[in-house]
Structure 1
Amino acid sequence: MRNIILAFFLLSGTCAGGQTVVSNENKKATSLKKLDFIALSENNDSLIALVNLFFRKRNDANKAIWIGAGSLVLTPLIGAAAAIDAGLSGKNDPSAKTHAIVVAGVVMFYMASGIGIYYRIKYSRKTLLRLIQDFHSGKPLPNSWVVRLKERDFTVTNTL
């Protein structure tokens, strides 16, 4: 039975698609990977550095979103531990500590996630594709993007 299901998925993937290799021009910008953008750069150092910049910033944005999600998950656990500690020691009201911890955790979630989402939108694949296409049509790279490039964006090891 498992072999039949596997064969079905393999056959439906090749038959439904019509072709297995799709050129970069036919793909949507959102489905292009880093190597696709590097191929579109046609070995131009400035464009490869721009691709590295965009994917570095997008990777940092993903990290910020995960940090925000982690803070939201850990906030109730830390708050509960603080309430238990305050209750066992017989000190102040246990809810006094937990309110501050919950507020700090929620603020950290919104800040980290908000910053991450902002950078994911700012450094979108559509913007990168538009910049590459504009460069190939003869327009120079906008100075607002060029000033963001760092030396590590030009290194060969960062391109893969």
Structure 2
Amino acid sequence: MNHRSVFQVGHRSFSFFMTEAILLFSPHGSPIRMLTRRSKVRVHWVLQCACLACAALGLASIVYNKHLVGKAHFASWHGLLGLVAVCVAGLQCLAAVSLVYPSLVRGWPLARLKRWHAAAGLLAYLLGGGSLVLGVRSAWFTASVGGLAWYLAALCPAVSGLVVVSQVTDAYMANKRLQS
């Protein structure tokens, strides 16, 4: 497997694992909707760790590949946004420890921590999706993929982004309305 293949696997895995990790809380389409909330949280945690591992592997692969061919690192918007997305996702995973151990963060109720976690996770997801859309516009991708396949590749992150934004805002805005 060459470096570009590892990078592509990292992109796809990041998108797949993060999408699934978020949507498993959906009451409508999750394949594990019958599990307890606690079990869903554990599966969410495992999927997010897999997402971060794939993102780090893809990022390391492309940095190594650029080093081998002597190209500049993070010279495109796609590369910069991808780096930011991986960093935000990493910080989000670290910050999630406060949800497992809420006593570490004094003065913040668990409900507020969960809302911040959802908002920061949504930001990480949208940054990753934005990077994917920018990657579809790259010279390499447009030379490799054309026609209907190109449009489908560009549309997938946008549609999944809308679904995830809808789910997260519905879940946390509904909770906020009920508490008011």
Normalized against structure 1, the TM-score is what?
A: 0.36
More contact order relative to length (CA 8 Å, sep ≥ 6) = 1
Normalized against structure 2, the TM-score is what?
A: 0.33
